[in-house]
Amino acid sequence: FKSASGQQIVPPEDPVVLWVDGGSASATEVLAGSLHDNCKAVVMGDKSFGKGLIQAVYGLKNGAGLVLTVAKYVTPNQNEIQGIGITPDIPGKNILPPLLPGGLGGGSDTSKVDFADIKTRLSSNYCSIPEQREQLSQK
């Protein structure tokens, strides 16, 4: 991943984990879905919000307004986001707080975290979509 100036931010071989939950919506879901569908990241957490519509607001002469849906977000694999959200590879309800510095909100108990599973999913050949894993390995 590169910045707008072209600076390498995350080397392509480095594993990426994205955390999503019910507060993750819209562009966040597009990013998570895109990285996931392209086997570039493992998604952890809880199902995202499911905001996948793009709407425009038009003012009318009488002072009223019209809200019109003009597009919808889908992932690269054409998975709908609206009303569905992004489902994590690794469900993680309430496991994030123990992972934060100082155990914010949850102490330092990491017993609910399956680190072996995370490590397996972060291996360079991991992809939760077998067909895509095969396609990527042929490139």
3, 24, 26, 128: which is the annotated catalytic residue?
26
Q: Which amino acid is at 1?
A: F
Q: Which residues contact 139 (CB under 8 A, 6 or more apart)?
A: none
34, 47, 48, 51: which is the annotated catalytic residue?
51
Annotated catalytic, 111?
A: no
Annotated catalytic, 139?
A: no
Q: How far apart are CA 103 and CA 14, in angstroms?
A: 25
Could you give the residue numbers annotated as active site?
Answer: 26, 51
